[in-house]
Structure 1
């Protein structure tokens, strides 16, 4: 499996313990995707403080545009390097109230049909990113096999 990591990613995962190759590239949506499937699947990684920055002001507008682009993909998720409890208890630097932050995230999920995966920490987020992409790839390969079998049966 070849994972493409956006060149603008500030703190890229290494995927050292995972069976994959990581290559830097430019992604229009998300921070991680799969070679050959950039227009179909992506993952956006967020630290808790980064996520809070996406909930207010210019950061919110930019994030809304990102999620709108992502809605055109078959599969997309935001992977958060924290727990929902961390947000609920205000364990971040922003002055935004925890209730308002949680409500924004829930509204984004509904508005953009986009799951936010609360991973507890960075290692959990790396794990979730790898396996999210792996499961998508496995599913895409299976769909391709079905199409090829159907085409083969028709000829």
Structure 2
């Protein structure tokens, strides 16, 4: 499977444990997508400190704009390289309180219908990103097969 990583993504997943090839390209939004589906599939990766930063000050408006763009995508998610327990325990450098962080995340999930997936660590986030993209690719493949099959002439009919 080919996966596109945005050119602005600084810590690109290698997907070395998976049957995947990563290519770099500018994506309209998010950090990861699939070739041909860049405007319909977007996975945004966040380290915990980056997520907290995106919830505060001027960064918040930029992040809201990204979530708005993602909201229209067929497959979208924010994968977080931390657990919800890490947030609840304040395992980050910021004055933002854990309750405020989680309330912002929950509000964004409801408002923009973009799930935030707390994956425990970087390996968990890479696993989640790969399998979300793989499952989407499989679904599209199955839809295309079904469509082709339904449009094929019935036995005995002329093509």
Shorter-chain TM-score: what band? Answer: over 0.9
Q: TM-score, normalised by structure 2?
A: 0.94
Local SS of the residue matching 1:102: helix
Matched, 1:128 2:128: yes
Q: In structure 1, what is the Cα distance between the partners aligned to 2:96 and 2:74?
A: 32
The aligned counterpart of 1:10 is 10
Aligned residues: 155
Larger Rg: 2
Q: In structure 2, what is the Cα distance between the partners aligned to 1:153 and 1:71?
A: 38
Q: TM-score, normalised by structure 1?
A: 0.97
Give 5+ residue unaligned stretches, structure 2.
none
**Runs of 4+ residues deviating >2 angstroms:** none
CA RMSD, Structure 1 to Structure 2 (Å): 1.1
> 1:99-110 maps to which residues of 2 (within 5 A)?
99-110=99-110
Q: In structure 2, what is the Cα distance between the partners aligned to 1:78 and 1:3?
A: 16
Local SS of the residue matching 1:76: strand
Summarize deviations over 1:63-82 as a string: whole Å, max 9, x none.
Answer: 10001001121110000000
Give 5+ residue unaligned stretches, structure 1.
none
